[in-house]
Structure 1
């Protein structure tokens, strides 16, 4: 995995503007609706995106193999932008990056040069063949086999047999990386389209992302050369898969952001022109504060955590899967927020939201998959909870309390005090779970994963608001909101996190019939008092969305 900081700002901006222009010309709304209705992947458009017409694929390929060497931050910005147009098409492009990941992290130098070079030079499409019908997210339960073929006592090839399910680009990919069980353990193999015995089923008839190609793959005694074993050593497949989760999951998180924001922006535009009772919906607090503002806060909390994680990946902190939990938190927050925002956007359009021409029902169907692929939300909750539980135990309960103390130096206007309160409450809830041995309950463990994600993202958003106020946001960071508006979003998020962690944490500890009572350790009165000012901050967020001058903006200018 490259540890460079990726593209410079000008190159990234040029790629984003070129991407917008290409998609507007080649995938206008009318064509997207027709393709969605027909359940057709626009393969020629995807190939043009990954060819000389656009070259978006070059961002994901290191410079030494002919690419642009984009970093995690660049990939997130581009994935979000693609998703705002169509998550299905974005998935088709992402599948090539995902499919080449085992090569990037585990291949020999010669294998990287050959296969990554072909992506850069020829724009070949990849697929990632890991999931199986009976294994789902459990890669360790795979049944596809790789039987060595020996010639004169030397392994010269492998015969692959088995089935893969839900494979993006399954029937259009030129090359597929296949995870199979070799004698030495799970291993990745490169299989080219057209290899005898390798075939694809008809594309799946899916609920959403109908502009992507998803198909089952069949391997019937498929013979591949020994050189197609990634890394030329058996048994490293699961390690290689784990190494990239932190990276690939932030890309899917970007899909959640893109889909959620596209849906919200359509609702904002609709409410500006829709008149009810003599005034636009945009001026009605009951509309904006229920159907728009809460989802702005959730999406931007996810963005804050996502951008921090991308910055750490680009700084080289994600080697050997070290940031897998951070990637899980980013994906969990952004995809759940994007799915919820799209649902709210349908409601915000009323009856029109339920019709095809307004697009939001399609966005909702598309964004729904982001909570499933690359790790379901439930798998992510488990991943988050297990890792942070171990951190809590190893640090004698200081892990989240230390995170809270780190927020102490930030201005109160950023929401840092309430975010710190959320983290302190989380530590108290985890203490009660330890005393009552409550993590033996799988449901409690999963609910802890949710609370951890909310609390940690509140801290990330407070740091982001402080950086915006100080003018120190990363060069390539999203800058949609002014520092004052971002601070208001952070305060709303922090209040919500503190209340959620305290009240729901208490609920699950008591609900588990534990003798441990965290109520005395939870500053419930402080949490409730911290809600003061909530409505004014929601007003300020609505004003920022609709380009209205709010009292908070006026006071800060």
Structure 2
């Protein structure tokens, strides 16, 4: 069955709403002191990694890293929802700074999910006390998301009695955030038993870092290669104490870390939209503000705000499922990352266009946001890697459940449509049924061997599952009589049109583009999935966008 969120009243890991807001407010205060607009601009222009500033953020007066450290080791024990919210807020200030902070969290994750009690007490305790910058060293020059292609090796070192006393590490890592400044790193290397995580301290002989990369964006973060030449690591630094567990440990956190990258992207796009919306209210063109011009709002603002709300609904839903104790949400993490980061990249691009010439000028910040946000489509697995993961595993899920996975989503949307008629649920239902059929068709005709077709499936899968989360959120807000209900309901309906358009584009691409099917088969399939009913999602679309623009611009 498809996950449908967390039941009301379910106990969730993490902070209460008031405590979470206190941490968010602490981040906002950084904008007034440590991370003013002028300081951020200088970091960007001069490509400065502000080590001292980052360490102050970890110090006793601020202690932001306490959020992601379990309470047992001196932290606050924040959950996925907390970490996404706080990281998003930090990314509104500067995605480069957020990347440096995220590197600490990412570097600690192998210890959190796989460390022994002694290792957690020592290393997580050091992070909690603000004594350590940490880096996560997995990527190699020829092994990014393909961990199986690792070449960095860890050979066991034995004493005279034949007991393993440590490991000798040789190899190179690439694109390691904060690697040149970290007090220790969590490193993935090959052992005879399989990939294994180790803690390597910066003083280790033979451990060196190269020159920081000159980057297109996130210039306030440090990115460098690391090299290991006969680096000795004591046996007690093998995370978990048992070699060969590294791949399982990394997979445990992918659903979570990719969710975080999605939240980071949303934070950057929040900042871009805030700048543009304020500008559009004040900028007068041909006698009226830009905010009153439908061509401007409906092309550059409303679609992006809808996508950001859709991504938010999905990330919040998956974060709550993680906090409720669900496991194996790697595919959901990929969906969140793919949609949120691609949406944020589009938002930043449109924000530059929305400001005209000012969008191209550094003073207005949006051009920096555009440069920064692109990396979110690349690190922690490129968008194409996510498409590959999503299509492969949802195809397998569909076959394993004999179609029940998407049938259950279709049934849920059919039921929801009876009480929430203006949220596009009918079109999500049609899309879910169509998706089931096109996945089955692709399977039966061996089209799953065609990567481009799998990418087309991934995009349809992603838009459907994102849209369904937005519809669920609209339903909950309506039941609660929330002031946000109207906006989210309208946005769900608008997004159902985007999901329907994508379905109408990609189904023919697969049917006709593959060259496998004759005209009768194509015609019969189109009829079987109620293809033309998806056109109904255009009904009153422009009026709905008008109303959303009214809400956004407070018209």
Q: In structure 2, what is the equivalent of residue 146 of structure 1?
A: 154
Q: Say if 2:38 is the partner of 1:38.
A: no
Structure 1 segment 426-505 matched on structure 2, within 5 A: 426-471=435-480, 482-505=484-507
Per-residue CA shift, 1:346-405, capped at 9, x if unaligned? 000111101110110100110100000111100000111011101111122232122011
Distance 1:42 1:460 in 2: 38
Alignment match, 1:221: 230
Shift of 1:509: 2.2
Scaled by the length of structure 2, the TM-score of the pair is 0.94
Q: 1:533 aligns with which of 515, 537, 540?
A: 540
| Deviation per residue, 1:437-479 (Å, 9 max, x gap) | 2111011011111110001111110001111111299xxxxxx
Matched, 1:88 2:96: yes
Partner of 1:207: 216
Residue 263 of structure 1 is matched in structure 2 by 272
CA distance in 1, matches of 2:262, 2:81: 12
Matched, 1:510 2:518: no
Match for residue 115 of structure 2 among 99, 107, 119: 107
Note the alpha carbon deviations across 1:412-450, whole angstroms, 9 max, x for none.
Answer: 122211222221222222232123221110110111111
> SS of the residue aligned with 1:211?
coil
Deviations 1:202-241, CA, capped at 9 Å, x for gaps: 1110001000011110111111111011111111111111
The correspondence for 1:285, drawn from 280, 291, 294, is 294
2:361 to 355, 379, 396: 355
**What is the rounded CA distance, in whole Å, between the counterparts of 1:22 and 1:260 in structure 2?**
19
The one of 384, 388, 397 aligned to 2:390: 384
Q: Which residue of 1 aligns with 2:329?
A: 323
Residue of 404, 413, 421 corresponding to 2:410: 404
| Equivalent residues, number | 536
Aligned residues: CA RMSD: 1.4
Q: Secondary structure of the equivalent of 1:26?
A: coil
Alpha-carbon distance in 2 for matches of 1:398, 1:229? 42
Cα deviation digits, residues 18-69 of structure 1 (max 9, x gap): 1101233111111111110101111111111112121110010000111000
SS at match of 1:497: helix
Greater displacement, 396-405 / 194-203: 396-405
Cα distance, 1:122 vs structure 2 = 3.0
Secondary structure, aligned partner of 2:67: helix
Which residue of 2 is the match for residue 10 of structure 1? 18
Moved more, 149-158 or 517-526: 517-526
8 Å contact kept, 2:176–2:223: yes
Question: Is 1:175 matched with 2:146?
Answer: no
Distance 2:367 2:431 in 1: 34
The two structures have a TM-score, normalised by structure 1, of 0.94
Of stretches 407-416 and 10-19 in structure 1, the one that deviates more from structure 2 is 407-416
Shift of 1:409: 2.6
1:308 maps to: 317
Matching of residues 106-125 of structure 1 within 5 Å: 106-125=114-133
Q: Secondary structure, in 3 states, of the residue corresponding to 1:25?
A: coil
Asked if the contact 1:158/1:224 (under 8 Å) is kept, the reply is yes
Q: Distance in 2 between matches of 1:22 and 1:86?
A: 11
- Displacement of 1:189 after TM fit? 0.7
Q: Which moved more, 1:118-127 or 1:283-292?
A: 118-127
Deviates more, 1:245-254 or 1:135-144: 135-144
Separation of aligned partners in 2, 1:111 and 1:31: 37
Cα distance per residue 1:248-277 (max 9 Å; x no partner): 111101011111121112111111111110
Q: Paired residue for 1:192, among 174, 180, 201? A: 201
**SS in structure 1 of the partner of residue 139 of structure 2:** coil
SS at match of 1:157: strand
CA contact (8 A) 2:30 2:36 kept: no
The answer to whether the aligner puts 1:544 opposite 2:551 as a matched pair is yes
SS at match of 1:414: coil
Q: Secondary structure at the match of 2:422?
A: helix
- Deviation for aligned residue 1:501: 1.2
1:4 Cα deviation from its structure 2 partner:
5.0
| Pairing 1:71–2:79 present | yes
- Secondary structure of the structure 2 residue equivalent to 1:137: coil
The corresponding residue for 1:51 is 59
Please give the alpha-carbon distance, in whole angstroms, between the structure 2 residues aligned to 1:214 and 1:86.
Answer: 16
Moved more, 261-270 or 362-371: 261-270
| Higher deviation after alignment, 266-275 or 503-512 | 503-512
Aligned counterpart in structure 2 of residue 395 of structure 1, from 385, 392, 401: 401
In the alignment, is the contact (CA less than 8 A) between 1:352 and 1:358 conserved in 2? yes
Q: CA deviation at 1:293?
A: 0.7
2-side partners of 1:440 and 1:472: how far apart? 48
CA distance in 1, matches of 2:537, 2:100: 45
- Of 517, 528, 537, 1:521 maps to 528
Stretches of structure 1 that go unaligned for 5 or more consecutive residues are 474-480, 549-557
Aligned partner of 1:235 in structure 2 is 244
How many angstroms apart in 1 are the aligned matches of 2:433 and 2:278?
A: 39
SS at structure 2 position matched to 1:77? helix
Q: Which moved more, 1:413-422 or 1:385-394?
A: 413-422
Aligned position for 2:376: 370
Q: 2 CA distance for matches of 1:77 and 1:527?
A: 35
